[in-house]
Amino acid sequence: MRGMYIHIPFCHQICHYCDFNKVFFKNQPVDAYIESIGQELAVMRQEGISFKGLETVFLGGGTPTSLSEQQLDRLLAIVNEYVDVPSLTEFSTEANPDELTYGKLKVLKNGGVDRLSIGVQSFDTELLKKIGRTHNADDPVRVIADARKAGFENMSIDLIYGLPGQTIAQWQDTLNKALALDLPHYSGYSLIVEPKTVFYNLMNKGRLPLPGEDIEAEMFAMLMDHMDQHGRKRYEISNFADPGYESIHNLIYWENATYAGVGAGAHGYVNGERYSNIGPIVKYMEKTAAGERPIQQRHLVTETEAMEEEMFLGLRTAKGVSFSLFEKKFGQSLETVYGDAIEQLVQDGLVERSDDRVKLTRIGVFRGNEVFQQFLA
């Protein structure tokens, strides 16, 4: 097992586009939930799941920084009890700009966290209000200055394009302000309207003025070009970094490797089995308190499914999928299993073969979903 994801499902404000497992912070059993994280880790260890050799831990949500300094300190103490934190290659947390105080930064640093993934989304205050964010355009600048003062160097910000009413000029301004912060890592995602979100309900009522596909494609091209011009290399469809600052935890996902999912609604991939935890917090806590794994669903991944995942996850990365590694993992050549599909995609200009690898072309990056579908049974 290479990584561990820990889910903190609490938010002081629910963003209009978010479909992750989350609840409003107020009146929730936050302290008891943190203890449940420890109980789940204890049960996993009793079942023989080893946390030795972990490369990464990632705190996600929800909003981990919605916790108080004391709550963060307790959570990190629990993680340190079960994980050899000093030996990790990367310990990340997601963070909101208006919640990340200098005190919390010091607690995170003292607890072993060495990478911040900050949800900025836009540097346009009016757009931020429209999408349900509570920070303003100045908060990220302050937070990043504080984080540097607290000793953080490895930082990333998330940006979203294709937002309701967003113009090319607004996206250009956001990119300029983001790059002016001179961070080693940036992520840029197109808005996806998911069911059970505020935006989904508005869209169904015809009240969500989204940019068209052409404008969204232009925004994506701007993202790639600006990042390249500033030396941040695209290593995955939506992620850009200085060399050596790629997100190791996310690479574990894209390399189709194993990781534990801990917390309410978390997903994991351990011993050839993908699983998802119970989402409702109280039910999750009841299971862990009883000394049981709080698993909602289990699925033993078949060899065919594992090969499919190897392709559509690996092709998301700039380096693509290795022919030799595929054969080593599955005992079959990539040519034998997917040769026809690859040849057709090469002819269509969507993928290219280079040495030992097959990877997306620039056009293929724009039409990634179309490519990935060719490897699904």
Each residue's pLDDT tens digit, 291-323 = 999 999 999 999 999 999 999 999 999 999 999
Residue 204 clears pLDDT 80, i.e. is over it: yes
What number is the average pLDDT over the span 241-266?
A: 97
pLDDT of res. 18: 78
**How many Å apart are CA 122 and CA 117, to the nearest integer?**
14
Residue-wise pLDDT tens digits, 1-59: 999 999 999 988 878 877 777 788 888 999 999 999 999 999 999 999 999 999 999 99
Q: What is the mean pLDDT of the chain?
A: 95
DSSP assignment of 273-293: EEEEE--SHHHHHHHHHTT--
What number is the average pLDDT over the span 365-373?
A: 96
pLDDT of res. 279: 97
**How many Å apart are CA 164 and CA 212, to the nearest integer?**
10
* Bridge partners for 97 per DSSP: none
What number is the average pLDDT over the span 176-205?
A: 93
pLDDT of res. 377: 77
Supply the pTM of this predicted model.
Answer: 0.95
**How many Å apart are CA 309 and CA 304, to the nearest integer?**
9
pLDDT of res. 179: 98
What number is the average pLDDT over the span 244-254?
A: 97
